[in-house]
Amino acid sequence: MDTAAVASELQKTWNRPDAQEWAEVYTKIFPSYALLIESYLKAQEVVTKNEQLDSTRS
Protein backbone atom coordinates (compact mmCIF):
# COMPACT_ATOMS: atom_id res chain seq x y z
CA MET A 1 0.00 0.00 0.00
CA ASP A 2 1.39 3.42 -0.92
CA THR A 3 0.87 6.93 0.46
CA ALA A 4 -1.93 7.76 -1.98
CA ALA A 5 -3.83 4.60 -1.07
CA VAL A 6 -3.59 5.43 2.63
CA ALA A 7 -4.79 9.00 2.02
CA SER A 8 -7.72 7.72 -0.06
CA GLU A 9 -8.73 5.24 2.63
CA LEU A 10 -8.60 7.92 5.30
CA GLN A 11 -10.44 10.50 3.20
CA LYS A 12 -13.23 8.18 1.97
CA THR A 13 -15.06 10.89 -0.04
CA TRP A 14 -14.66 14.40 -1.43
CA ASN A 15 -18.10 15.28 -0.05
CA ARG A 16 -16.79 16.52 3.30
CA PRO A 17 -16.17 19.88 4.95
CA ASP A 18 -12.37 19.50 4.88
CA ALA A 19 -12.13 18.64 1.16
CA GLN A 20 -9.82 21.61 0.52
CA GLU A 21 -7.34 20.30 3.06
CA TRP A 22 -7.43 16.88 1.41
CA ALA A 23 -6.76 18.51 -1.95
CA GLU A 24 -3.62 20.03 -0.44
CA VAL A 25 -2.57 16.59 0.83
CA TYR A 26 -2.90 15.15 -2.66
CA THR A 27 -0.78 17.97 -4.14
CA LYS A 28 2.01 16.88 -1.76
CA ILE A 29 1.70 13.26 -2.91
CA PHE A 30 1.22 14.15 -6.60
CA PRO A 31 2.63 17.64 -7.36
CA SER A 32 0.88 17.76 -10.75
CA TYR A 33 -2.46 17.27 -8.98
CA ALA A 34 -2.41 21.01 -8.34
CA LEU A 35 -2.86 21.54 -12.09
CA LEU A 36 -5.93 19.32 -12.10
CA ILE A 37 -7.41 21.26 -9.17
CA GLU A 38 -6.67 24.57 -10.91
CA SER A 39 -8.37 23.34 -14.08
CA TYR A 40 -11.42 22.12 -12.15
CA LEU A 41 -11.76 25.42 -10.27
CA LYS A 42 -11.51 27.40 -13.52
CA ALA A 43 -14.19 25.20 -15.13
CA GLN A 44 -16.47 25.79 -12.16
CA GLU A 45 -15.86 29.54 -12.42
CA VAL A 46 -16.75 29.51 -16.13
CA VAL A 47 -20.01 27.71 -15.37
CA THR A 48 -21.05 29.91 -12.44
CA LYS A 49 -20.23 33.15 -14.30
CA ASN A 50 -21.86 31.93 -17.54
CA GLU A 51 -18.66 32.66 -19.45
CA GLN A 52 -18.30 31.64 -23.07
CA LEU A 53 -16.44 28.37 -23.47
CA ASP A 54 -13.07 28.53 -25.23
CA SER A 55 -14.28 25.85 -27.64
CA THR A 56 -17.10 28.14 -28.85
CA ARG A 57 -14.96 31.22 -29.39
CA SER A 58 -13.91 32.11 -32.91
pLDDT at 38: 93
Q: Give me the number of domains the chain comprises.
A: 1
Alpha helices in the chain (DSSP H): 3-11, 19-29, 33-48
Percent of the chain with pLDDT over 90: 78
What residue numbers bound the domain in which 32 lies? Answer: 3-56
Q: Please tell me the predicted confidence (pLDDT) of residue 1.
A: 80
Q: DSSP assignment, residue 32?
A: T
- Residue 26 clears pLDDT 80, i.e. is over it: yes
Integer Cα distance of 39 and 10 in angstroms: 25
Phi (first) and psi of residue 30, to 5 degrees: -125, 95
